[in-house]
């Protein structure tokens, strides 16, 4: 079955490390329980602010540069995500539309590549290795 990453945008509140009000936490918990009960939820996590993060820039084939957060230049931050497994994009979108959100929040829903979609160079041995990693 196809998998989808649903990205929750960040903003000043999430970057400040502020927790949502208890009623929002309760509504999101209930929503996540619905996803889990339906068997479509693989993971759902909130992310700490970029002040607790780091980036690794690949300067060339040998040099790596670690850049500590916060990332004030970032225009679009991710504050959390869901990983869903549904029968189609349409089903994933139906679930996402049920999220208890308001206030002009836009969630991004992106399909995850299935190993079979990566082409013939993705050999049977690599496919098996990927499946074992997933288990």
What is the mean pLDDT for each group of 10 consecutive residues in the chain (135 residues)? 94 89 94 98 95 94 93 83 97 97 90 78 71 79
Half-sphere exposure of 43 (CA within 13 A, CB side): 10
- Pairing mode, if any, of strands 78-85 and 64-68? unpaired
Domain ranges, ordered by start, for the chain: 3-46+76-134
Domain boundaries 3-46+76-134, CATH class: alpha beta
Quote the pLDDT of residue 122.
67
Quote the pLDDT of residue 134.
75
Rounded to two decimals, what is the model's pTM? 0.83
Quote the pLDDT of residue 104.
83
Given a contact cutoff of 8 angstroms between Cβ atoms, the answer to whether 133 and 26 are in contact is no
């Amino acid at each position: 079955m196809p998998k989808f990453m649903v990205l929750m945008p960040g903003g000043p509140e999430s970057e400040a490390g502020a927790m949502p009000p208890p009623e929002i936490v309760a509504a999101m918990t209930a929503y996540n329980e619905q996803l889990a009960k339906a068997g479509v939820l693989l993971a759902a996590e909130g992310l700490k602010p970029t002040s607790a993060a780091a980036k690794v820039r690949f300067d060339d084939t040998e040099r790596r540069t670690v850049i500590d957060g916060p990332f004030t230049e970032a225009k679009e931050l991710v504050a959390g995500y869901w990983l869903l497994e549904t029968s189609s994009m349409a089903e994933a979108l139906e679930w996402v539309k049920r999220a208890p959100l308001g206030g002009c929040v836009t969630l991004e829903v992106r399909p995850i590549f299935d190993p079979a979609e990566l082409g013939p160079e993705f050999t049977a041995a690599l496919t098996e290795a990927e499946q074992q990693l997933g288990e």
